[in-house]
Structure 1
Amino acid sequence: MTVYIFEMLFVLFAGALLYSRKVSKKTFLILSFFTMALILGLRGETVGEDTAHYIDVFEKTKYISWKTIFTSGTDIVYDTIWNVDRSMEVAYVLLNKIVRIFTSNAQWILVIVAFTTCYLMAKFVYDNCDRVFLPTYIILCESLYMQSFNLARQTLAIAIGLQAYTLLKKECRHSNIKAILAIFIAFLFHKSAIVLLLLVPLWKIKDNRRGIKYIIIGSILMPFLTTAIGRFIFVIIPRYAGYFQNNYWDANVGVVAFLWLIELFMIIYIFKRYQNDDGKEVFIAIACTAIYISLELVGLKFTAFTRITLYFRAFLVFLFPFFQRYLESKSRLVYKSGLILLLSLFFLRYASTPARLYYFFWQ
């Protein structure tokens, strides 16, 4: 727990340096995300629910041939238990195989994934946020960073896939194709990243205010379409279909529901005051947050849906800062202070779970 408290306080301290203009935007991001990556990458085998699994996969790739990797399509069988093949996306297996060329120490795959994920997250913030402290603190505290201790492969896919948003925002030549390519690369690390393709049609919507209405209506209907979504998943990604037919884990809402209520309030409040010329970024923030909350409600029945929500949950880095645009100047300080306090409590709550009990790999 001490390590996490130090990490949180260090990012807050770096934020204070940023606000006092003693460090630049880029320096703040380097200090903050380097610290996150260091703690994430140097974790011991039992820190996080699946860390031991990633180490095991690294060891198993020793027995996978290069020919198998390049001829097996998007999934590679890395182990067989009780005549049941266990497979994983080709890009992640390939990454492990490349790392094994240089070292047989499995800790390096954790370090490389951690630093790559944090670098891409920092780039996402740098490219798309004028003020970088709050988005960084949201990534650290709201859940995405803590999920990296468990869902390392998926959070890497999220970090890669989010670059598609930057490409769409630039609206340069072939930006749609480049964005789809970024999502495809993320897909090769974790197939759930295919949901980010939704960003492409969302960005094409011309009447943002009307688009928000349709998104909200669709989000309300989403929990009632669970069966249809499950069938779609079965066709597109058969390996993950079982996750949407059974509740493998108990849904744990708890105080997170309180945050959902705050986010719903923000969506409604912004929508009432939103004009089309307020910017596409605000529209995307509202749309993705609405989809995220809707899928979380579906996740109360099929908890695996909560893994898909992470892709849309990442856009909270826009929603929370954008909300303050619509507040009076006197209210903004209160809002920021309250939000930082709430996020800090969420971070400490995640950090206090038994699976996050921290020790360095050499201890």
Structure 2
Amino acid sequence: MAIYIFLIIILIILSFIGTYCIHGEKRKVQLQRYFLILSFFLLGMVMCLRSAQVGSDTSTYCRIYGEIARTSSIVDAFQVLPLSAPVYILFDFILSRFFSSEQTIIIATSLIICYMMFKTIKDYSQKWLHSLLLFVLLTVYFQAFNGARQMLAVVFAVYAFWILAGNLKSVKGWLIYLVSIGIHNTAIIFLVAILGIWLADRSKNNKTLFIKTAALSVVSTLFLGAGVAFVIMIFPRYLMYVNGINPESILVDTGSGRIALLYIFELLIVLAYVFVSRKSKVFSEKKALPALVFCCICGMVFAGNTLIQRLLWYYEALFVIAIPNMLATIDKKNRFIIWFFMVLVLSVYSVWFLLENKGNMVPYSFF
């Protein structure tokens, strides 16, 4: 666990130095770029060099890669492993023609996840180092150890979202989103976030948009609950994920409930943006507002539902970019206070996540 704590401390220090200790805009931007590259190099190496025993799904996808490596054609790969993930199977098949070691898939997915998040932050965040820190403190980075294939879909879907937030008709954005669905079909759930862009374009101000979104989120949550119940009826084996006994999510049974607490905290940040922020010159954070509100409401309602919590990874990753962009619309004094308090709270949250060790991330071991 020491290696994860080391990463958190290093990123907090780099974020503070790069944001508050450097004078001169040109010099600050240059140094922040170096810090961003260095930090993602460290994050990537820790993720790449882990053994197959680190992360709940890691050994499973290593085994899948090994089976695909032993097939002689792409047709055989699809017959042996009929996953609903054509892009992922094709990726594994091509990669396995050059490298047969199962460690290859860990390295490849880790590098792609880190690169795509690096590119998303660099292209769309107003505060690079803040987004970098949130990538870790919101545990999006750590979840990538537990569900690498889904997180691969998450980073492509999130990048597509910010492209579509600028132009909903972007062919590039829609193609990247389709790639994410081809990697993991749960990315279909992210269509709600993209529809939120359409809703944001038709709302006059943030308060009106928030009220509309909150109402629609409550209704959508009811439909989502009914949909999950229907799936459980057809596939009873998934009951283990939705029967409300997930220890990391329940307040009453364990006194824990960090998942619910995280969504409450994120909702407070969204409320601060809606009711405290001044008029923004950049409206990308407004386009994300419906998705963020949906995430918070749905996350709190289904705090004990592991299946839905994993579906919300797509929305949780949006906060990595949205929070710094939302805080940029608040006056400097209040922004610093909120950011300082946020780092403190989320540092405790991320360490709490590691201590619970729900995804077999501790102890860390090299391959």
TM-score (norm. length: structure 1): 0.84
CA contact (8 A) 2:54 2:361 kept: yes
State how far apart, in whole Å, the 2-side matches of 1:108 and 1:40 are. 12
State the match for 1:167 in structure 2. 163
- Equivalent residues in 2 for 1:23-172, closer than 5 Å: 23-68=30-75, 76-79=78-81, 87-171=83-167
State the match for 1:15 in structure 2. 15
Structure 1, unaligned stretches of length 5 or more? 71-75, 80-85
CA contact (8 A) 1:127 1:166 kept: no
* Deviations 1:68-113 (CA, angstroms, capped at 9, x unpaired): 169xxxxx3535xxxxxx6351221222222212222111110110
* Deviations 1:14-35 (CA, angstroms, capped at 9, x unpaired): 3244232565333222111111
DSSP-derived class of the 1:188 partner? helix
* Deviations 1:296-315 (CA, angstroms, capped at 9, x unpaired): 23534643111111111112
- The offset of 1:275, in angstroms, is 7.8
State how far apart, in whole Å, the 2-side matches of 1:111 and 1:159 are. 16
- Equivalent residues in 2 for 1:199-210, closer than 5 Å: 199-204=193-198, 205-209=201-205, 210=208
Q: Structure 2 counterpart of 1:180, which letter?
A: W
State how far apart, in whole Å, the 2-side matches of 1:227 and 1:326 are. 35
Q: Structure 2 counterpart of 1:135, which letter?
A: S
1:265 equivalenced with 2:264 (yes/no)? no
DSSP-derived class of the 2:97 partner? helix
* Deviations 1:278-327 (CA, angstroms, capped at 9, x unpaired): 64323233212211123223534643111111111112124432453465
Structure 2, unaligned stretches of length 5 or more? 250-256
DSSP-derived class of the 1:49 partner? coil
- The offset of 1:67, in angstroms, is 4.1
State how far apart, in whole Å, the 2-side matches of 1:288 and 1:242 are. 29
CA contact (8 A) 1:183 1:197 kept: no
State the match for 1:281 in structure 2. 284
State how far apart, in whole Å, the 2-side matches of 1:11 and 1:128 are. 19
State the match for 1:213 in structure 2. 211
Aligned length: 345
1:307/1:146 CA distance change after superposition, 3 Å: same
- The offset of 1:171, in angstroms, is 3.0
TM-score (norm. length: structure 2): 0.83
DSSP-derived class of the 2:349 partner? helix
Deviates more, 1:87-96 or 1:136-145: 87-96
CA contact (8 A) 1:285 1:318 kept: no
Q: 1 or 2 for the larger relative contact order (CA 8 Å, sep ≥6)?
A: 2
Superposition misfits of 4+ residues, deviation over 4 angstroms:
231-234, 240-246, 273-279, 325-328
Q: 1:335 aligns with which of 315, 334, 338?
A: 338
State how far apart, in whole Å, the 2-side matches of 1:277 and 1:10 are. 31
1:225/1:133 CA distance change after superposition, 3 Å: same
CA contact (8 A) 1:202 1:284 kept: yes
State how far apart, in whole Å, the 1-side matches of 2:215 and 2:309 are. 20
State the match for 1:357 in structure 2. 362
1:2 equivalenced with 2:7 (yes/no)? no
State how far apart, in whole Å, the 2-side matches of 1:59 and 1:217 are. 47
1:279/1:16 CA distance change after superposition, 3 Å: closer
- The offset of 1:4, in angstroms, is 0.9
Q: CA RMSD in A?
A: 2.9
State the match for 1:184 in structure 2. 178
- The offset of 1:232, in angstroms, is 8.7
1:228/1:119 CA distance change after superposition, 3 Å: same
1:78/1:276 CA distance change after superposition, 3 Å: farther
- The offset of 1:118, in angstroms, is 0.5
State how far apart, in whole Å, the 1-side matches of 2:192 and 2:230 are. 15
Q: Structure 2 counterpart of 1:78, which letter?
A: V
- The offset of 1:146, in angstroms, is 0.7
